[in-house]
Structure 1
Amino acid sequence: MNLLAALLAALLVLSPFSRVAQGADLRVLTSFLPMYLFTRNVVGDAPGVTVEMMLPASLGCPHDYSLSPGDMRKIAEADLFIANGFGMEDFLGAPIRRANPKIRVVETASSVIPLRAGGDPHGHPGGGRNEVNPHTWVSPRNAILQVRAIEKALSDVSPGNGPVFRRNADTYVGRLDALAREFNETARHFRNRNIVTFHNVFDYLAREIGLTIVGRIEETPGQEPSAGEMRELVRTIRETTAAAVFAEPQYPERLAETVAREAGVPVRMLDPVSTGSAAPTTYEDVMRRNLQTLTEALGTR
């Protein structure tokens, strides 16, 4: 029994949560804006919990992001790291472990049924890359799953705050469920369901509400299309009578405007909530603006 007690004591010393169990504040670090918004809503006013966002809210999706010395310090001081996962944060794994071997990393997208980056928005395999599409949060139903994953992780680490986390998560999930129902009800009446997006960030939303993404301007984020690829995209837009080309606020509109002008369709803006305000209602506010934009572009019957 003495040996067992010694082993248990050693595990507590090594555990990243031993100080939390002893009454210290729980320090939660989130990777980027949507993970911060979800976590902040679950934590709410829970005592002894701090939530910080690692990447600036103006940066956007952390594709190919490299950790800075300041990031490493934040990771070293945190107990829990809330990430999206599915490859969104390339720095997960060894870089984080080097900064803080004791930190617990939660990849919230693991609760979502994945889409392939090279497939169509309904999950069918297609050409191009075959990695998992990491943009899970741009779907209210997926957001609910990710919020529940955050709630569970927080309750595991700080069980004393479990009732607070559950209450806050229930409230937030109720709001997200209302948002999802708004999307589904409105989408039932869309006159045109064919769209072109800038890249594959809206594939999960398309799956959720029954849109067909007939083309993307950038099949690989950050890699501009060739002249031949743009001509092919224009041809596809005309053949499928796509309603519009949707740009994103995180990228210049030049390519979207060029393709739309050649195809004779309008350009509209959809926001994947990867930049912007850190206010608690930002996700819902932005997604409702997206719904209004889709309604105006696709028409209703």
Structure 2
Amino acid sequence: MKVSKDFIPVFVVGSARSGTTMMAKLLSSHSSFYEYRAETLILTVCRKRYGDIFGNEEKKLTFLSDWFESRQFERSNLSKEQFIDILNKSTSYPELLVRFLSTMTNNANKHFIVDSTPANVRYVKDILKVYKNAKFIWMVRDGRDVSISQERLGWVNPPFPFRAKSDRLNYTLINWKLINANCINHNNSSIFRIKYEEFLNDPYHYVEQVSEFLGTDPSKYDVASALNPQKSNSAFSDVRKHGVFKPVERWRELDATLVNDFTYGCSNFFKMLEYSVPSSAISFRSFFRYYYFLFHLKAKKTLSDYHIFSRKTTETLEIRRQKKAP
């Protein structure tokens, strides 16, 4: 695939609620970046929902109909003709994504662009295969805090019959483990890992490191704006209104029994990522639940990889305008 050698896409990846939005905001504040204020969702949602749009005209037209009504297209500042040309030149979703990002960046006469779709962590290898100059910033946050944030937002839906809060948290934590394992398995110079907690403790140190990784001027990042707690997308905004903003180790405020229950099966991964290792409650129920959830999550990924039941997925593009009635 041929695109401008000066073009560098930066993918901010990791589990959702791990500081990916904060990092994308920080990077986009630099004058060398084109600011695309949306998740692309090309690899994560479109691939799953529309299947083979490169060899099936009907699926291609369905995809384009939805894409042109989405925030993903609306915020790209591309014309429909430009995007159709990009799609016609592409033979895969990773290639479509890179061409899409490249065209936006070149049109704005910029050097970098950020894709802040956290779930692209699953497609690091696919993206690098298409474009070896891609860069990845892997955001890591304590899985216990990630779990309680996602659960608070109502994003968690474990399979029947597990419906208790500890079940929802355990399901999310196992997913956090699987997601981050993707980057552990790709230990190369294209990936730069940042622990969310360490970044908040010394942001300017990490801005220097990110600048060295990307080859940018560290003085041109707006750190204060990116870290402004009044403009964050915290799941605990109601707490922040009372003057308390504590994004680190919120899990310590939970009942110890609950923490011990929902962290079952993930102790070794906490150790691998250099977090304090939890004491997990051991029982037949927690053992069965862990492997049931693990199988469920892996099966979902396999089905989506092969586009099975693709139109049944609840994941969609972010539609911004109502379609006109026929």
TM-score range, shorter chain: 0.3 to 0.5
Q: TM-score, normalised by structure 1?
A: 0.36
By percentage of residues, which structure has more helix? Answer: 2
Relative contact order, CA 8 A, sep 6+: which one is greater? Answer: 2
Greater C-alpha radius of gyration: 1
Q: Please report the TM-score for the alignment, with normalisation by the length of structure 2.
A: 0.34
